Every structure is written in structure tokens, then in C-alpha cells.
Amino acid sequence: MKTKLYISMAALALGMGVTTSCSDFLEEENKVGETADLTYSTKTGIDGLVANCYSFARGWYGKEAGLGLSEMGTDLFCYGFDNKQKSLNQYTFTSAALDNNVNDNSSLDHYWEMFYCAADVCNNAIVQVGKSTVLSESEKQQYLGEAYFLRAFYYFHMVNIWGAVPYNDAPIKSQNLNPIRMSEEMVYGKILADLDTSIKEFEAADYKTKAKGRANYWAARALKARVLIYAASWLNGQLGKQVAGNDSYAAMNGTQLYAAAQAEAEAVMGATGYASLYSNYNDVWSMDNEAYENNHEALFGITYSDQITSNVNCIPYRYKNDESGKPLNYNSLITRTGYTRGGSAMLLMFVSKWNNGCNDLGGNGQKETQVFWRVAAGKTTIKSAATKKDIEVGAAYSPYGRGFCRYVPSMRLWQLLEEHRATDQRTEATLLDHYDIASPDLAGNARNYPLLKDTAIYYCPLDGNSAEGKAKQAWAKNRYRIQFMSGGDIPVFSSNDPALAKPTEAAKPTSDVYGDKRYNSVAIGGWQSYPGIKKFLDNVYNPTFPTWDISSRDAIVMRLPEMYLIKAEAQLAQGDATGALATINQLRAVRAKDGADNSLSGTPTIDTILNERAIEFCGEQMRWFDLKRTGKLHEYVIKYNAQASPQLKADSNKHFLYRPIPQNELDAVQNLTTEVNSTTGFWQNPGW
């Protein structure tokens, strides 16, 4: 468990001269000129400014909208029945700036604003720390290391979302109505320069240990490894371009960039005492180890406070003001609970609907006697039909899931996890493939399952129409509800072909084997009841109900296993397939079940790497970018995501590899042009 120093949002963004999110500052004048100089002449002011550089990352990591832009429209996830960003998976979103709409919003307009605000705060920090006279030399070096790291971090997100983007490396003093989009190769040059400066400053300060949500020397080198593998695979590989504007990298071809990525990854892997792989994969996701600074595998993470109410305003307000001059809120898909309380929403994103079509699991409509239903308002117990005792389940009991269904693991992800279940720990630690009743005393409440003991729902990875599936269905009768990957009475997916499989929208029984029509329920369809992802759950506040609400879980942005897979990918690209396989198997050996051989054999390909990344990192906000940079987005989506494939099949010019510039930005500039890659005008990405 973590004991955290909460980073106050009183800290001050202020190139454009606008206050951020601490309520103490909301009524103050813009802190520019003499006011800013006065504020930043104190160590407290500088501390707050550097702390505020981190706050914008909480708008992306652990948040629904950022998750949509990084995991939807890939091979690993489908949308559930009430996903708020279905258009991202269907590739039907547009450049329209939808502002605070939450019905179906990619939130690109808010992220454009947020990332540029973040970069501006970093620019102010670099200036103010650089001229500070109240910091010791080592403090100044550490703070500069953090500010340069974070500026690189935010621009890395921007360039991979939109491609060429305007680049600001100084505080904004006035509105620019004629921005110029800097080429991707130039932006990569700037990012790498910032990371090299960050590494240099951290090394000078000897700042190499983890501390509550802050970057450090090894985090900077890990991010550099990630940036280099992107530069090699996307910039040089897919685009055929080289890093520009940076003499240290401009002459590097793809092979050299891969070699540089490998060197950085190996350095982080060999950092004595900084990070290590857990022998038990469950420990990676235990709430006892969720704090970034205490997690053995974490290389960098975004911190949330233990106290949910202390996370109020953990995301800054917008630079944009309302009619009365007060800063506006970001979309609630980004802030989750608005500005009243906050934290990570990841525990809510990958689980089934809370009642799971519970008309077959409960007492025929009597809510107070059901197994899978919320307790009545003001109550904390459910009455056992068998014993007549009131069974304590807690005030927040809401049968393991939530009242909405956002992300359904695709058939492809389910199959990848099942493939090595016998040897690999990650399957059982990742896949939520069954729900148990809250207490054995409640077993008698499920009148349609008189033999129920503990398991109430089981998601079976078989075709329910196969001989083995039929046998399992017969065994489950009267014991528990069984839902098959495909086929059977209640299929999760509509086909056993991953290219055609969509989550079913209503269960349509092939036979009425139970003597009633309870399975013909939309609430039991695969888009509402499905195997979930459990590695983000939070069992601290209610062990029985680990999806109780928002979570204090830190968002781990980079973990040590990524360095193994960056190294393996770099080895493969340099022609060392044998070395790549050995590196993959190093990781797989640690992920093996006791006594099991979890190694792979044969000749690895980039597909081998991507499969391993899927198993290790599913849901960790990387997949869309991995598929884009390796040139696999269209291939994988068409093969494995039937919700998304129609638009990708028609996308001959591959314009979906870039997100559109938000329309409100286009409306605001005065140098708009239709000339793509213009060096004087501002242009929309082609196809949008």
C-alpha cells in the first residue's frame, strides 16, 4: 500500500497567464510578469510549478477518453453496449470538436488543448528553474530533468496522435493565429534532444531512485528506448524518413536507431536495484504494490492519492474560460467524476454489466433475495433464501461489475490468453473468466441453479456447439450459467471466426433446455456479459466488490517488461532472430507457472513480438500506437475486429493512421491551407 505526498495543483501554469486547478487560485489575476517573478522567487512556487507539469498526464492515463484513443480500433478490444467512444472502434469519428458531449466523443479537441497546455507549463518550468536563485544546484538539475522529460513525454503523444504538429519550446506570451506544423522527423529530433538533456541533468543530480510519481534518470532512459523504437519502426520504417534537426540522430538509419533503442533498453534492464520482474505476475497488479514508487516493475507512473476525495482537481482546469472568465472543465470522460473527486477509472472499463442478466441467477424478480443484484438503498445485506439469514455484502455491493460495459476483450485477445494458459501465469492473472457468489449462504437464492455452490457464471473458451462444449453445457445445467466464446445457448461472440466475430447483442437460445425463456435476454448478450480484464481491479475499499467506484491505483506508464520486448524487437530488426527469441523467452521464463516450460520455439517475427505485447500489456494504453508504428493496424483490425474492419478495408490511403486536427483549431487559424506538409500554412491531415 502507498502513503503518498499529494501534489497540490496550486502550481501555476503560466505562459498564457492562466491559473490552473487549485481553488485557492481560481479568483486570482493571471500570473505573468512581475507577479510570476514574485511567485517563482520562492522554492514553494518552483516546487508547485514543476509538480503541475505532471498533472496533465492524469487526463490521459487511467482515464476513459485516453484509453479509447489508445486501445479502441485495434485487434484486442471491442466496444460494449454503452461504450462512449464507439466511433473510435468503428472508425466513423470526425474532426468535429464535440467539447463536453459524452454520448460518443473521441475528445480530440480537449486533448489537443490539454497537451499544449502541458507543454506550456513545462516550458515555463524550464525558464523559471533555469533562472532560479533559491534552488540548490542539485535541485535545479533534478527539476530541469523532470521538465525536459515531461515536455518530451507530451510531444511524443502529440506526434503519434496527429503527426506533424506545431512545436513550442518557449512559454506562450500571446495568441498565435498562424501556427506552423513541424514535420514528424523534426519533432522526433526535438523529443530526443529533450530526453538527452533530461538524462544529463538527472545524472548530474544523481537522481536515479523512484519517488512518488516523479520522473528520474532511469525513467528518462526508458522513455528514450520507447521513442527510439518508434523512430525506427514508424518514422524510418513506415514513413521512410530519418530524424531531423538533431545532429546526434539525423545520420542514423533504421538499423542504427534499432541498435540505439536496444542499448537504452539493455541499460535499464541492467540498472542495479532500480527495477526487477516479479516472479508472481499477480504481484504486479496487487493493490499492495500499486504505488508506482513501490512497484518492482514500474519504470514510470502517474500518481493518484490514497484518498479519493484528495484527488479533487488532480486534473487542471482548462485554459479556456467561460463567459464569466472562469476556467472551464475538461470533458467528464477525461475527468471521470468531474472536479469533485477523482482517480483512475481503469477498474471500471473492462468488466461486465453489474446485474449480468440476473433474472436467471436470482429470486425471480425479488431484488432483496437475488444473488446478482445491487442491495436496496440504505442496506448492506442480502437475505439467504435457504438460511433466512441476512448476509453482509457491504453498501457498495454491485455484483462485481458495474452499471455499464465499456470494453469487451476481443475473441483474438481471449484466444491469445488461452493459448498458453497451462504454462503462463498471465492468463489467470489477466482474464476475469468467472464470477463467484458473494457468500455460499446465498447459493439457495438462485432458484434456477439448485446445485450452485460457488461459481455463478463461467465464460468458457470453447465453441458451445462442439462435442466438448455440449458436454460442458450439460454439466453446467442446474449448477451455474455457462457462456461460450461462440455457440451454445449463450455465446459471447457471434462467430467462431475472429474476422467475423462481434459481441452478441442478445442471447438467442438454440434450445429451451431449462423450460423457460430466461436466456433470451439482451442483458446476457456478449456486449453486456463477457470475460473481463481483472488486472486493474481495486479490492482495497471492498474486497468482495473490486469495481466499487473510482480507484486510487497509480497508472503505471512504463514497466520493465517493455524493455525486454523493445530489445527483442530491435534484435529482430537487426537480423538477430535467435537473440530476439532468447530475449522473449527470458521474459516468458519469469512469467511461467511453477515447473512449466513457457518458452517459444521457431523463428520469431514482428507478429511474435506483437502477440507477446498483447498478452503482457493489454489495456495499458499502448496497442493502437504499437499497431500503427509497425504497419500492422489495418491487417490486424481486418483479421480480428469485425466491429472496426469495414472502414479499415476501405481505407486505401491509410488516413486512419493519423487522427484529425480538431475542427475548432482549424477554425481559429488564419493561415489555413489545403497544401499538405506546407511550411507556411496550417493544414488538416489528409482524408479528414
Q: What is the DSSP string of 89-156?
A: HHT---S---TT--SS---HHHHHHHHHHHHHHHHHHHHHHHT-SSS-HHHHHHHHHHHHHHHHHHHH
pLDDT in tens, 120-133: 999 999 999 999 99
Q: Is the pLDDT of residue 539 over 80?
A: no
Predicted confidence (pLDDT) per residue in 198-237, tens digit: 999 999 999 999 988 899 999 999 999 999 999 999 999 9
Residue 81 — very low, low, confident or very high, per pLDDT cuts 50/70/90? very high
pLDDT score of 403:
74
pTM across the whole model: 0.93
Task: Please write down the HEC assignment for all residues of 177-237.
Answer: CCCCCECHHHHHHHHHHHHHHHHHHHHHHCCCCCECCECCHHHHHHHHHHHHHHHHHHHHH
Query: What pLDDT shows up at residue 578?
Result: 98
Computed over every residue of the chain, the mean pLDDT equals: 88
Dist CA 194 CA 217 (whole Å) = 13
Give the Cα-Cα-Cα angle 442, 445, 446 (nearest 5 degrees).
110
For 371-396, the pLDDT digits (tens) are: 666 666 777 888 888 888 888 887 76
Mean pLDDT of all residues in 20-34: 31
Q: Answer yes or no: is pLDDT of 367 > 80.
A: no
User: pLDDT-based confidence at 536, cuts 50/70/90?
Assistant: very high
Q: What is the mean pLDDT of residues 278-297?
A: 95
Task: Calculate what percentage of the chain has a pLDDT beyond 90.
Answer: 72
Q: What is the mean pLDDT of residues 83-97?
A: 97
Flag whether pLDDT at 619 surpasses 70. Answer: yes
The C-alpha atoms of residue 30 and residue 26 are separated, in whole angstroms, by 10
Cell numbers 448476509 correspond to what residue? Answer: 391
> What is the DSSP annotation of 579-636?
HHHHHHHHHHHHTBPTT------S---HHHHHHHHHHHHTTSS-HHHHHHHTT-HHHH
522-542: buried (b, 16+ CB within 10 Å) or exposed (e) per residue? ebbbbbbbbbbbbbbbbbbbb
CA 352/CA 625 separation, integer angstroms: 26
pLDDT for residue 61 is more than 90: yes
C-alpha cell at 260: 540505439
* DSSP secondary structure string for all residues of 246-263: -TTTTT--HHHHHHHHHH
Query: In sequence order, what E strands does 321-468 have?
Result: 381-383, 390-392, 407-409, 431-432, 434-436, 455-463
Is pLDDT at 269 greater than 90 in this prediction? yes
Q: Out of 30-39, 202-211, 413-422, 577-586, pick the least confident.
A: 30-39
Identify the weakest region by mean pLDDT among 168-172, 449-453, 518-522.
518-522
The one-letter code for the residue type at 448 is N
Stronger pLDDT, 491 or 521, i.e. the higher one: 491
pLDDT of residue 79: 97
Q: Say how far apart CA 152 and CA 591 lie, in whole Å.
A: 32
516: cell is 423457460
The pLDDT, as a whole number, for residue 517 is: 46
Which of the four pLDDT bands, split at 50, 70 and 90, describes residue 321? confident
- Residue carrying the nine cell digits 528518462: 220
State pLDDT tens for residues 289-310: 999 999 999 999 999 887 766 6
Biggest alpha carbon distance in the chain? 81
